[in-house]
Amino acid sequence: MQHHHRISLIGAPTDIGAGARGASMGPEALRVARIAAVLHSHGLEVIDRGNLSGPGNPWQGPLHGYRHLPEVVAWNQRVHEAVHAELAAGRLPIMLGGDHCLGIGSISAVARHCRETGKKLRVLWLDAHADFNTAELTPSGNIHGMPVAVLCGHGPQALVEIGGQVPAIDSDVVRQIGIRSVDPGEKRFVHEQGLEVFDMRYIDEMGMRHTMEQALMGLDEHTHLHVSFDVDFLDPEIAPGVGTTVPGGPTYREAQLCMEMIADTGRLGSLDVVELNPALDVRNKTALLAVDLIESLFGKSTLMRKS
């Protein structure tokens, strides 16, 4: 059975950290795909808080290694406050992105909530990319490639200190799943920092079931499980509506199993859905798939089990 039955949807319509425009339309595409009604149909209380507002996208090049840093900070402060307020009210926030830079605001809020309530944190990072770049390592300066590094304390001061503690999280709470595109310098840094990565090679060799058993190992009743779901985690054959497609991702069934095994833990406490880009989608199919998978994350299949 799910732990939380009261869900809050928080739209964060921006592509401020991305290398392509369009993720700003993600929240509306998920609403068009009926995310609220689908979750409600499983007996969950859902409140749509509407969209946060923030600065527009000036579409400029990098400055000191970062694109749009002041705007990224502004958006993440708003996401941080909104997500933290829902958690403090005993609700389960789903942050509808938006690009993945918003994971900084969201996960720093979850970490702060865990400190305040004495909970242990586990973060599952479902993504084709490690998102562990720094200004020194990335040529693009797109901050959506940096959120995990920032959360672990590596990045510009204004971003690493969102949440009131630096680093916001320890790297050992993160489990990355589905990774298949990492820059050479980033790869070295991921190894140095001891991030636990289940890349596609691992999933191919060991299977999704074993991968998820490893990634979910050690959860207990005091653990808050946060899932940061970058839609580019999925194979682009089934999920074309993202800015940075990488071939060779999890299939439909593998992705379902991943979500179902997370649901089975009963520990899901918060969720990000990011990088959905309706401008690149085909008749909203990627949004519909994302909602289908989120339905499984909240226990669609477990409802059919006798247990």
Q: Distance between CA atoms of 242 and 259, rounded to whole angstroms?
A: 19
Q: Any contact of residue 230 with Mn ion (CB under 5 A)?
A: yes
Q: How far is the CB of 169 from Mn ion (least distance, A)?
A: 16
| Annotation marks residue 292 as catalytic | no
Angle at alpha carbon of residue 187, lines to 184 and 189, rounded to 5° = 115
Contact region with Mn ion (CB under 5 A), list: 28-36, 130-138, 213-221, 240-248: 130-138
Site string for Mn ion, 88-127 (x = CB under 5 A): ------------x--------------------------x
Task: Identify whether 220 is a catalytic site residue.
Answer: no
Please report whether residue 180 would count as binding Mn ion according to CB under 5 A.
no
Angle at the Cα of 56 from the Cα atoms of 50 and 61, rounded to 5 degrees: 140
Contact, 93 vs 86, CB < 8 A? yes
45: annotated active-site residue: no
- List the catalytic residue out of 100, 154, 224, 226: 100
Quick one: 54 or 243, whose CB is closer to Mn ion? Answer: 243
Task: Determine the Cα angle at 117 with ends 115 and 122, to 5°.
Answer: 60
Catalytic residue among 230, 235, 281, 295: 230
* Nearer residue to Mn ion within complex by CB, 15 or 131: 131
What's the min distance (Å) between Cβ of 202 and Mn ion?
A: 18
Reading phi first (left if > 0) and then psi (alpha if -120 to 50, else beta), residue 161 is in alpha
- How far apart CA 62 and CA 98 sit, in angstroms, is 20
* The amino acid at 209: R
Q: Measured from the CB atom, is 46 or 215 closer to Mn ion?
A: 215
What's phi and psi for 267, nearest 5 deg?
-110, 0
| C-beta of 77 vs 181, nearer to Mn ion | 181
Backbone angles phi, psi at 47, to 5 degrees: -115, 125
CB of 147 to Mn ion, least distance (A): 7
**246-252 contacts, C-beta under 8 A, 24 or more apart:** 246/128, 246/129, 246/180, 246/181, 248/180, 248/200, 249/128, 249/178, 249/180, 249/200, 250/178, 250/200, 250/203, 250/208, 252/289
Stretch of residues binding Mn ion (CB under 5 A), selected from 41-49, 188-196, 214-222, 225-233: 225-233
Interface map 256-285 toward Mn ion (x if CB under 5 A): ------------------------------
Which span (44-52, 62-70, 77-85, 224-232) binds Mn ion, by CB under 5 A? 224-232
Joined tokens for residue 175 = 């489990």
Active-site residue identified among 129, 154, 224, 226: 129
- Quick check: is 129 catalytic? yes
- Determine which residue in the list 15, 71, 86, 131 makes contact with Mn ion, applying CB under 5 A: 131
CA 287 to the chain's CA centroid: 15
User: Which residues are designated catalytic?
Assistant: 100, 127, 129, 131, 144, 230, 232, 275
**Can you give the binding site for Mn ion, defined by CB under 5 A?**
100, 127, 131, 230
